[in-house]
Amino acid sequence: MNKEQLNSFNKKHLDEHKINLDYLTKNLSKKSIDLDLLTKRIGKFQISIPSWALGTGGTRFGRFPIGGEPISIEDKINDVGLIHSLNKSSNAISLHIPWDIPRNHEKIKSLAKSLEIKFDAVNSNTFQDQPKNHFSYKHGSLSHINKSVREQAINHNKEVIDHGIKLGSKALTIWLADGTSFPGQHNFSDSFQRTLESLHEIYSYLPKDWKLLIEYKPYEPNFYSMVIPDWGTSYVLSDKLGNRATSLVDLGHHLPNTNIEQIVAILIHLKKLGGFHFNDSKYGDDDLSVGSIKPYQLFLIFCELVKGIEEKKESNLSWMIDASHNLKDPLEDLLQSVENIKISFAKALLVDYEKLKSAQKENDVTSCQSILQEAFNLDVRPLVVESRLQHGGAIKPLEAFRKFNFREKLIKLRGVNSKSTGL
Ligand code: PSV
Ligand code: MN
């Protein structure tokens, strides 16, 4: 993103932004809020981009590539660099191996550094068979009944850690598709035990300054049982493994109406929340843009996170998006998702938690609700814009993306038929 172009773009929108910010500042002036500090906190908050969300997602019924999709890891890092240059809020990429196979680590690292991009958690993939694999994962990986398959899956995870070490990553995310689709297919407790033992081997290979993130999911691709179906199972596994093992909450991995904010609060309380995969959904793992369906739920989750950060001094969390779908330009979608995450974070920062505590003490249910909704109903977008502006980003990232025809440029560069790796 050319700095001069960006400056002239911002200049056109600056007056409008100032009016909006002024209005909000006046609105908040009666409250004892340090707006400068708040703006700094919002500005510092970064959300990692998954390498697999940079191309168009698909469903099992079809995929409609948009053109200009990233082919190599370098392309993907460049795309994240572009997002970050516009929003100054996405300074890391999360790689999925072997969808991304780093070959020249130093080269990749220096490209990323030149774009101010770091490497967040590396993800292993034992849910798909790879051509070089001896054994199939059709009937599971870390939980497989056959030791050789388990060993292959364990070794893959070790290889992923090796790649991560070379890139400066500090976490491994494991999501298992292991499970069954028919009653009687597996012995539940044996599968659990084998999973735990496999995880032990991976955990003992993990560098001392790394985290292990264990992601749970209630169903899909298996529909009767999953080996790690819920946060309870993920918690038990991480508890048995040790301090550096934690749970990863993917917002789409809950049955309808699950109270995710409560899960988040308890995991933080137990020091077992390690990271997030943000997305939104109506029914299941829909992988829709963050904040597009249930923004109030997202806000409530952020309230628990803010409380956790403040009260429990929880600071080592990995914030990642995991969304990819069929309809929108993936880069536009990611810009929208990051914006919605930051808006929710900003609103959660504005909640008067002391007042909430007092209302809770009094069992004043009406006030409890009002205190939360007062913050939720504020239009905090000017604060998010201001924080971005202070870091040299675009006042309106999405509009800038369109104005400067980035998709057309990417199509010219990579072709109309370029197809990204992923599901
Ligand atoms: C599984 O549904 C998941 O959420 C895991 O994080 C995988 O790594 C990712 O999606 C694959 O698309
Ligand atoms: Mn996920």
Closest atom of ligand 1 relative to the 248 alpha carbon: 6
220 CA from centroid of ligand 1 (Å): 10
Q: Is the CB of 421 inside a 6 Å radius of any atom of ligand 1?
A: no
Residue appearing with tokens 């992988």: 287
Look at ligand 1, atom 10, and give the residue with the nearest C-alpha: 322
Give the DSSP letter of residue 94. Answer: E
Q: Residue 250: CB within 6 Å of ligand 1?
A: yes
Residue closest via CA to ligand 1's atom 1 equals 175
What is the C-alpha separation between 167 and 319, in angstroms, rounded? 18
Ligand 1 site, residue 120, Cβ cutoff 6 A: no
Confirm or reject: Cβ of 280 under 6 Å from ligand 1. Answer: no
The ligand 1 atom nearest the CA atom of 125: 8
pLDDT at 61: 85
Closest C-alpha among 330, 342, 353, 345 to residue 393: 342
ω into residue 102 within 30 of 0, thus cis? no
pLDDT number for residue 235? 98
Closest-CA residue to 346 (of 19, 14, 33, 29): 33
Q: 316: burial class by Cβ within 10 Å (0-12, 13-18, 19+)?
A: middle
388 lines ligand 1 (CB under 6 A): no
CB distance 94 to 121 below 8 Å: yes
Collapsing DSSP to helix, strand or coil, 301 comes out as helix
Tell whether ligand 1 has an atom less than 6 A from the beta carbon of residue 284: no
Question: pLDDT tens digits for 330-344?
Answer: 999 999 999 999 999
State the pLDDT at residue 314. 77
Q: Is the CB of 123 under 6 A from ligand 1?
A: yes
Neighbours of 85 (CB within 10 A): 20
What confidence score (pLDDT) does residue 333 get? Answer: 97
> What's CA 239's distance to the chain center, in Å?
23
> Does residue 329's CB lie within 6 angstroms of at least one atom of ligand 1?
no
Instruction: Give the environment of ion ligand 2: residues with CB less than 5 A.
Output: 250, 277, 322
Q: How high is the pLDDT of residue 219?
A: 98
Closest ligand to residue 52's CA: 1
Omega before 221 cis (within 30°)? yes
Residue with tokens 């340090």: 34
Q: b/e string for 224-238 if b means 16 or more Cβ within 10 A?
A: ebbbbbbbebbbbbb
* Local confidence pLDDT in tens for the 423 residues of the chain: 789 999 999 999 999 999 999 999 999 988 888 999 999 999 999 999 999 999 988 888 888 889 999 999 999 999 999 999 999 999 999 999 999 999 999 999 999 999 999 999 999 999 999 999 999 999 999 999 999 999 999 999 999 999 999 999 999 999 999 999 999 999 999 999 999 999 999 999 999 999 999 999 999 999 999 999 999 999 999 999 999 999 999 999 999 999 999 999 999 999 999 999 999 999 999 999 999 999 999 999 999 999 998 887 778 899 999 998 789 999 999 999 999 999 999 999 999 999 999 999 999 999 999 999 999 999 999 999 999 999 999 999 999 999 999 999 999 999 999 888 776
**How many angstroms separate the alpha carbon of residue 421 from the centre of ligand 1?**
14
Sequence letter at residue 237: L
Q: Which amino acid residue places its CA nearest to atom 7 of ligand 1?
A: 175
- DSSP for 22-74 reads HHHHHHHTTS---HHHHHHHHHH---BEEGGGSS--EETTEE---SS---SHH
Listed in sequence order, the residues at least 6 apart from 350 whose beta carbon sits closer than 8 Å to its beta carbon are 28, 33, 38, 375, 378, 380
Q: Is 285 near ligand 1, meaning CB less than 6 Å away?
A: yes
Query: Is 322 near ligand 1, meaning CB less than 6 Å away?
Result: yes
Nearest ligand, CA 127:
1
Please name the residue whose Cα sits nearest to atom 5 of ligand 1: 175
Question: Mapping DSSP to helix (H, G, I), strand (E, B) and coil, where does residue 171 land?
Answer: strand
* Any ligand 1 atom below 6 A from CB of 100: no
* CA 149 – ligand 2 centroid, Å: 23
| Pocket test residue of 126, 250, 321 for ligand 1, highest count of atoms within 8 A of CB | 250
Q: Is the CB of 215 under 6 A from ligand 1?
A: yes
Q: Calculate how far, in angstroms, residue 63's C-alpha sits from the geometric centre of ligand 2.
A: 20
Tell me, using a 6 A CB cutoff, whether residue 52 lines ligand 1.
Answer: yes
At 179, list the tokens. 């499970």
Q: What pLDDT is recorded for position 331? A: 97
Measured in residues, the chain has a length of: 423
Four-CA torsion 215, 258, 299, 312, nearest 10 degrees = -60
**pLDDT the model gives residue 419:** 80
Q: Determine contact, residues 102/111, Cβ cutoff 8 Å.
A: no
Instruction: Measure the CA dihedral 390/291/265/358, to 10°.
Output: 70
